[in-house]
């Protein structure tokens, strides 16, 4: 609890100090959210102002859930988020366990493993674009040797795998740091007690270490799902642009396409509102859980 009270000499100073944050929130968050909420219950007017926008209640939402493309995008988003989360958390945990076992070289490995996080998404996108490029990429070349014909431009599954890998890659650093901190907070004596109790290395991990990491695992799960759903626009835009035939069009990308490419603002706004609701639900789950996490 905050117990310290600071007294300001001027009555206006605290407001002035708060103002930038409040203004930024208003301009970039509250106002667009309000706009989206309003637009989601209107049918837009035409570009020439002949037909004015009309209030249509929840028609935009009803239309969405009757639209196969939207339902498909929901499923795509689900597969993509789960895939990205499981992949990035799995690899991060593996790295964290391995690095945690080192004593002297731990810090240098940690530094290397954090680097990807500092690379700009656009550069990372280009990197993966090269690696996966069907004509000159190294990965399709190697896959070709084992008889697999990689082409994410034609094959929807290939495209999905590619965007999952490219999105998960960046997130590994972040997850790794949390897992490593979690592992280091587990007293060594617990592991030793389990070793004396006859548990093999694997068994120690799954019965002692992993359960004790569960608060961190849960926290990261929410963070990663949010990341996969909302923060991967750049990756998809740079690699597949949602294709082929919408195989990688996740909800966020669909909002962009329907709104800015197809200029269907009502539907796009309704989709944003749904996304907003998802974020709110995830946040609530997270906060409720974190309050109780000491219970293991």
Q: Which residue number, 122 or 190, has a Cβ lying nearer to another protein? A: 190
Output the smallest distance, CB 202 to another protein, in A.
Answer: 12
Using CB under 8 A as the criterion, which residues of the chain lie in contact with another protein when the complex forms?
Answer: 187, 189-190, 192-199, 203, 207-208, 211-212, 214, 294, 296
Q: Token pair of 79, please?
A: 């597969």
Q: Which residue number, 72 or 217, has a Cβ lying nearer to another protein? A: 217
User: Per the omega criterion (within 30 degrees of 0), is the bond before 38 cis?
Assistant: no
Output the smallest distance, CB 185 to another protein, in A.
Answer: 12
Can you say how many angstroms the Cα of residue 36 is from the centroid of all Cα atoms in its chain? 22
Neighbours of 125 (CB within 10 A): 18
Output the smallest distance, CB 198 to another protein, in A.
Answer: 4
Cβ atoms 93, 174 nearer than 8 A: no
Q: Which residue number, 230 or 289, has a Cβ lying nearer to another protein? A: 289
Output the smallest distance, CB 200 to another protein, in A.
Answer: 8
Residue 246, judged by CB atoms within 10 A of its CB (0-12, 13-18, 19+), counts as middle
Cβ atoms 106, 99 nearer than 8 A: yes
Q: Which residue number, 89 or 194, has a Cβ lying nearer to another protein? A: 194
Q: Token pair of 289, please?
A: 């859980």
Cβ atoms 172, 88 nearer than 8 A: yes
Q: What angle do CA 50, 54, 56 make, to 5 degrees?
A: 155
Q: Which residue number, 160 or 194, has a Cβ lying nearer to another protein? A: 194
Cβ atoms 237, 167 nearer than 8 A: no
Output the smallest distance, CB 207 to another protein, in A.
Answer: 8
Q: Which residue carries 């994410």 as its tokens?
A: 152
Measured CA to CA, the distance from residue 257 to residue 195 in angstroms comes to 55
Q: Which residue number, 67 or 197, has a Cβ lying nearer to another protein? A: 197
Q: Which residue number, 14 or 211, has a Cβ lying nearer to another protein? A: 211
Output the smallest distance, CB 204 to another protein, in A.
Answer: 10
Q: Token pair of 109, please?
A: 């490995």
By three-state DSSP, how is residue 90 classified? Answer: helix
Neighbours of 192 (CB within 10 A): 11
Output the smallest distance, CB 108 to another protein, in A.
Answer: 17
């Amino acid at each position: 609890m905050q117990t310290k009270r600071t007294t300001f000499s001027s009555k206006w100073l605290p407001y002035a100090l708060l103002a930038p944050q409040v203004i930024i929130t208003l301009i970039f968050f509250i106002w667009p959210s309000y706009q989206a909420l309003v637009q989601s219950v209107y049918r837009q007017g035409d570009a020439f102002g002949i037909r004015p926008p009309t209030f249509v209640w929840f028609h935009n939402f009803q239309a969405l859930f009757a639209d196969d493309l939207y339902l498909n995008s929901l499923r795509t988003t689900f597969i993509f988020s789960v895939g990205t989360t499981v992949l990035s958390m799995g690899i991060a945990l593996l790295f964290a366990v391995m690095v945690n076992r080192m004593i002297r070289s731990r810090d240098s490995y940690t530094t290397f493993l954090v680097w990807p996080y500092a690379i700009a998404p656009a550069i990372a996108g280009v990197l993966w674009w090269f690696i996966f490029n069907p004509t000159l990429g190294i990965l399709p070349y190697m896959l070709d040797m084992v008889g697999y014909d990689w082409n994410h431009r034609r094959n929807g599954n290939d495209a999905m795998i590619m965007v999952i890998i490219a999105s998960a890659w960046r997130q590994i650093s972040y997850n790794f740091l949390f897992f490593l901190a979690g592992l280091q907070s587990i007293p060594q004596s617990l592991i030793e007690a389990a070793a004396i109790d006859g548990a093999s290395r694997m068994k120690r991990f799954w019965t002692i270490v992993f359960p004790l990491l569960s608060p961190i695992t849960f926290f990261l799960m929410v963070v990663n799902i949010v990341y996969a759903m909302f923060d991967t626009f750049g990756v998809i835009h740079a690699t597949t642009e949602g294709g082929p035939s919408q195989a990688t069009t996740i909800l966020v990308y669909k909002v962009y396409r329907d709104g800015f490419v197809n200029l269907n603002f009502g539907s796009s706004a309704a989709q944003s509102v749904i996304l907003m609701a998802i974020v709110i639900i995830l946040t609530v789950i997270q906060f409720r859980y974190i309050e109780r996490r000491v219970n293991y």
